[in-house]
């Protein structure tokens, strides 16, 4: 292995103390990844993929086309799924939204929802994972298998109606997400082997209506691509989830911060190839500092662990960047949020942060279609961080309140069904 690892050359941020195990294997795994050539063969996040309940994809696409820069591109139909591809451009990840045609469909992704109180109330709605572009698919898979990673067989991929032109890992035991690899040169088109291609009029109309509204509101040019993807995991899985992702990707460990007020930590990884997150989003992992069963001794707040216990380990929010600047003296993030609020979309709190601190942030309410939150983040003057501690504490607290209400509603609904 080389004396100096490229993936270990980035300075580590934050105040979170990691274990000796983490520090040892962070070095070993990244040095190994570099020496095997995996860091050079694995590139950006080319697409992110999720599934929604039957009949819900059009409403969700309309919501996303209003709240994000995504446009509807094409629909792919297979035996049991409609798959809609949304795109910004070829420099940002695509968004793949799968809708099951029949509520009775079973499968591994549904089973990951069904043991959790809120997750089971929407058994098909979940984030699935990321698709990473690679330059030598056969070699990447061979090396990753040698390192212990397991992949779906081609027959399993076919039965799950996942893209047939990809190698797809089994769901992570720590995040419940998959990672898919496909071989593509940067100038080549993104073509998903997912069924018969068509442009659906109803989906196109829903997106066009939202885009017209977005333009009329004056926010179309203000919302930028995905800044980061934030996954919530159990406290005991924080370090191994980070190390697993670093082993599967070409990302590096940017650092971790303790959010003491909310009994949690925020842990950030970034691409070694792309300094701009808008080309390949940062991957953020949030976890409790203590497991749920000891919280009653000191009455620790536990919004992060509560989320995982209610939904399962999964993606919590998609953060979109907002262009720096203002509209008639109103900072762009405030302008965007006010406009979207007027369209009936709710937010969990007011915008937090300040220009002096370097950034402002806000969480939307969780989507009723995907359970995902949209975060907006505006950085001022080239600020490089992802949050301030006060911001994260407020955002985490607000999300925790909503999630507890959703848990109560889900349990009440189950009681009604039982009666």
pLDDT in tens, 316-374: 999 999 999 999 899 999 999 999 999 999 998 888 888 888 899 999 999 999 999 99
pLDDT per residue as tens digits for the range 184-236: 999 999 999 999 999 999 999 999 999 999 999 999 999 999 999 999 999 99
- Asked if 164 and 235 sit in the same domain, the reply is no
Looking at residue 82, which CATH number applies to its domain? 3.10.180.10
- Contact (CB, 8 A) for 266 and 391: no
Which domain, by its residues, includes 260? 217-410
pLDDT for res 393: 67
With bands split at pLDDT 50, 70 and 90, how would you rate the model's confidence at 262?
A: confident
- Asked if 134 and 233 sit in the same domain, the reply is no
Helical H runs in 91-229? 108-114, 137-146, 154-160, 201-217
**Where does a domain end: 180, 195, 214?**
214
- Asked if 254 and 144 sit in the same domain, the reply is no
- Asked if 231 and 284 sit in the same domain, the reply is yes
- Asked if 155 and 286 sit in the same domain, the reply is no
- Asked if 199 and 245 sit in the same domain, the reply is no
- Asked if 253 and 197 sit in the same domain, the reply is no
The total of structural domains in the chain comes to 2
- Asked if 175 and 232 sit in the same domain, the reply is no
pLDDT per residue as tens digits for the range 115-141: 999 899 999 999 999 999 999 999 999
Q: What is the three-class DSSP state of 95?
A: strand
- Asked if 128 and 51 sit in the same domain, the reply is yes
pLDDT for res 3: 40
**Where does a domain end: 214, 242, 265?**
214
Does the pLDDT at position 2 exceed 50?
Answer: no
pLDDT per residue as tens digits for the range 11-35: 999 999 999 999 999 999 999 999 9
Answer yes or no: is 15 within a domain.
no
Answer yes or no: is 31 within a domain.
no
pLDDT for res 410: 53
- Asked if 67 and 126 sit in the same domain, the reply is yes
pLDDT for res 68: 98
- Contact (CB, 8 A) for 225 and 278: yes
Answer yes or no: is 27 within a domain.
no
- Asked if 179 and 62 sit in the same domain, the reply is yes
- Contact (CB, 8 A) for 127 and 137: no
Answer yes or no: is 28 within a domain.
no
pTM over 0.95: no
Does the pLDDT at position 419 exceed 70?
Answer: no
Answer yes or no: is 7 within a domain.
no
Q: Read off the DSSP letter of residue 292.
A: G
* Chain mean position to CA 284: 8
- Asked if 120 and 253 sit in the same domain, the reply is no
Answer yes or no: is 17 within a domain.
no
Answer yes or no: is 26 within a domain.
no
């Amino acid at each position: 292995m080389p004396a100096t690892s490229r993936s270990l050359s980035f300075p580590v941020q934050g105040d979170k103390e990691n274990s000796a195990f983490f520090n040892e294997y962070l070095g070993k795994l990244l040095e190994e990844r570099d020496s095997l050539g995996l860091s050079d063969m694995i590139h950006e996040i080319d697409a992110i993929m999720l599934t929604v309940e039957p009949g819900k994809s059009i409403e969700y696409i309309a919501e996303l086309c209003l709240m994000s820069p995504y446009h509807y591109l094409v629909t792919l139909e297979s035996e049991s799924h409609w798959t809609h591809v949304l795109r910004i451009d070829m420099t940002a990840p695509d968004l793949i939204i799968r809708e099951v045609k029949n509520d009775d469909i079973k499968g591994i992704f549904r089973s990951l929802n069904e043991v959790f109180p809120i997750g089971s109330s929407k058994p098909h709605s979940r984030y699935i994972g990321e698709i990473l572009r690679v330059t030598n698919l056969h070699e990447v898979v061979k090396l990753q298998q040698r390192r212990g990673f397991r992949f779906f067989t081609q027959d399993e991929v076919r039965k799950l109606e996942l893209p047939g032109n990809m190698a797809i890992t089994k769901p992570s035991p720590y995040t419940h997400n998959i990672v898919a690899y496909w071989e593509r040169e940067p100038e080549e088109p993104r073509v998903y082997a997912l069924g018969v291609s068509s442009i659906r009029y109803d989906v196109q109309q829903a997106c066009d209506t939202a885009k017209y509204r977005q333009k009329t509101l004056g926010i179309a040019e203000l919302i930028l691509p995905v800044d980061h993807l934030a996954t919530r995991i159990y406290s005991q899985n924080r370090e191994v989830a980070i190390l697993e992702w670093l082993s599967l990707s070409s990302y590096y460990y940017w650092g971790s911060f303790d959010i003491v007020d909310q009994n949690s930590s925020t842990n950030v990884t970034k691409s070694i190839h792309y300094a701009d997150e808008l080309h390949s989003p940062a991957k953020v992992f949030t976890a409790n500092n203590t497991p749920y069963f000891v919280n009653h001794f000191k009455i620790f707040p536990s919004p992060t662990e509560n989320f995982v216990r209610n939904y399962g380990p999964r993606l919590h929010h998609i953060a979109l960047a907002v262009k720096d600047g203002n509209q008639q003296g109103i900072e762009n993030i405030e302008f965007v949020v006010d406009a979207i609020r007027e369209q009936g979309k709710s937010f969990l709190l007011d915008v937090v942060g300040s220009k002096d601190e370097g950034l402002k942030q806000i969480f939307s309410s969780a989507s009723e279609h995907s359970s995902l939150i949209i975060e907006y983040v505006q950085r001022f003057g080239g600020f490089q961080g992802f949050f301030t501690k006060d911001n994260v504490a407020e955002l985490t607290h607000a999300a925790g309140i909503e999630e507890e209400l959703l848990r109560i509603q889900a349990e009440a609904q189950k009681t009604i069904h039982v009666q």
